[in-house]
Amino acid sequence: MTNSLSPRAQEMAARFKELYGSSPEIIVRAPGRVNLIGEHTDYNDGFVFPAAIDRDVMIAASPRKDRQVRVFALNFNQSSTFTLDGVQPATDTRERWSNYLRSMAWVFHEEGLGTAGMNVALLGDVPLGAGLSSSAAMLVASGLSFEASSELNIDPVRMALLAQRAEREFVGVNVGIMDMYISALGQKDHALLIDTRALTYEAVPLPKSGISIVIADTNKKRGLVDSEYNTRRAECERAVELLKASLPDITALRDVSAEQFNALSGSLPEITAKRARHVITEDARTLESVAALKAGNIVRFGELMNGSHESLQRDYEVSCRELDTLVQIARSIDGVYGARMTGAGFGGCTVSVVAEGAVERFLAEVPALYRKATGLNSPIYVTTAAQGAERLA
């Protein structure tokens, strides 16, 4: 089996054998993601346009005869053990990372899917807490390992829904569907235009040459993110409730056109109107950006990315000084088509679409300029769109 595996999967198999004494029967991987455009729309039934990135969480596992799950996190040199009967969150804070695996065991049980005990080793190279969704990679990889060990056959959209329920109800973060959906369904060399209401997608090829997707990390830890995220969700729901007075058929901001909103926004409280305007214009920008990409118009795609950032900064107010600074610096580099914050905001990463010939300049100049402005380092990842989650062995 091991010969056809990638070097990383072979290393994974070897590390598993060191830990548990025999080769793993199962190896799976699930990637992180970068969202090109369509931010804070996935919990408003709207459109998003992410790609899976070439960084992932890999899990090696073998079924056990009992109901125990033993898991070793190679990144942290830390182990954790739990039983499948009445799965609980980790009590020791040093084992909090195991909650993603635990949450998938929990949700499989909740939804009547069988689970088997396992020995597990996991290793990831998605940067943690940087807004590239290492958490979704953990959830989806965990789900795939339970699917394999229990000989189930789970549709990837259902896997994404299971992962979303796990993060919401067990981990306790009220997330949308985008991160787990793209991790489960991503396609090599494509970004997916996902309709988060219908849970369908269109795979859109990214140009084979000429541009690169460049991620830059602000290195600002995302402190406020959970509470502000919940506030934004509540403000969007409030906007829908108020707009229903004139538009009784709407159930989400997705249903409100720009024309309808412009006619009605004056009747909303100022903050509510700003939040709704972001979501409604972002849906329109996302659809237009995909049309521009399909037409080969990268310049327009970049303009719409820039527009997305401005809207997140001014109307949705989820940016921060570090994100704004890094976006401005990226745009100052000759050959950058567009740059925006990506992910929930308040820190995390920016994404830029960069002419291939300008990538070296970006790498040489952006970190130095950012350090000068903020005193912070900025790790940069030049990425390509990767395949979504898969079983490798």
How would you classify the pairing of strands 118-124 and 68-73?
A: parallel
Q: Which stretch binds ligand ADP (CB under 6 A): 10-18, 126-134, 286-294, 301-309?
A: 126-134
d(CA 331, CA 353): 10
Query: Which CB atom, from 233 or from 238, has the smaller least distance to ligand ADP?
Result: 233
> Which amino acid, 202?
E
Binding mask 91-130 for Mg ion (x = CB under 5 A): ----------------------------------------
Query: Catalytic annotation on 179?
Result: yes
DSSP string, 136-164: HHHHHHHHHHHHHHTT----HHHHHHHHH
What crossing angle do the helices spanning 99-110 and 156-165 adopt, rounded to 10°? 110
Q: Which does 122 bind (CB under 5 to 8 A by kind): ligand ADP, Mg ion, none?
A: ligand ADP
* Angle (CA) 158 386 196, round 5°: 40
Query: Which CB atom, from 135 or from 218, has the smaller least distance to ligand ADP?
Result: 135
| Cβ contacts of 9 within 8 Å, gap of 6 or more | 27, 29, 58, 392, 393
| Cβ contacts of 378 within 8 Å, gap of 6 or more | 216, 217, 218, 219, 326, 366, 367, 370, 371
Q: Which does 131 bind (CB under 5 to 8 A by kind): Mg ion, ligand ADP, none?
A: ligand ADP
CB 312 within 8 A of CB 278: yes
Catalytic, out of 45, 56, 179, 217: 179
DSSP string, 2-64: GGGS-HHHHHHHHHHHHHHSS--SEEEEEEEEEEEE--S-TTTT-EEEEEEEEEEEEEEEEE-
Q: Which stretch binds ligand ADP (CB under 6 A): 120-128, 186-194, 289-297, 308-316?
A: 120-128
Contact with ligand ADP (CB under 6 A) among 41, 135, 219, 272: 135
d(CA 362, CA 215): 11
Closest separation between CB of residue 241 and ligand ADP, Å? 29
Q: Which of residues 137-166 bind ligand ADP (CB under 6 A)?
A: 138
Q: Kindly state the tokens that stand for 144.
A: 């795939």
d(CA 185, CA 314): 32
Nearest to 243 by CA among 258, 259, 265, 270: 265
Closest separation between CB of residue 173 and ligand ADP, Å? 7
What crossing angle do the helices spanning 321-331 and 298-314 adopt, rounded to 10°? 160
Contact flag: residue 73 with ligand ADP (CB under 6 A): yes
Q: Which residue is nearest to Mg ion (CB)?
A: 135
Contact with Mg ion (CB under 5 A) among 41, 62, 135, 342: 135
Contact with ligand ADP (CB under 6 A) among 75, 246, 251, 262: 75
Closest separation between CB of residue 73 and ligand ADP, Å? 4
Q: Which stretch binds ligand ADP (CB under 6 A): 92-100, 250-258, 308-316, 370-378?
A: 92-100
Q: Which does 264 bind (CB under 5 to 8 A by kind): Mg ion, ligand ADP, none?
A: none
Contact flag: residue 131 with ligand ADP (CB under 6 A): yes
Closest separation between CB of residue 173 and Mg ion, Å? 7
Q: Distance from CA of residue 51 to its chain's centroid? A: 9
Closest separation between CB of residue 136 and Mg ion, Å? 6
Q: Which does 128 bind (CB under 5 to 8 A by kind): Mg ion, ligand ADP, none?
A: ligand ADP
Binding mask 52-71 for ligand ADP (x = CB under 6 A): -----x--------------
Q: Which does 138 bind (CB under 5 to 8 A by kind): Mg ion, ligand ADP, none?
A: ligand ADP
Nearest to 16 by CA among 148, 98, 120, 97: 120
Q: Which residue is nearest to ligand ADP (CB)?
A: 124
d(CA 336, CA 288): 19
Q: Which does 57 bind (CB under 5 to 8 A by kind): ligand ADP, Mg ion, none?
A: ligand ADP
Size of the residue set binding ligand ADP (CB under 6 A): 18
* Enzyme catalytic residues: 179
Q: Which residues bind ligand ADP (CB under 6 A)?
A: 57, 73, 75, 96-97, 100, 122, 124, 126, 128-135, 138
Q: Which residues bind Mg ion (CB under 5 A)?
A: 133, 135
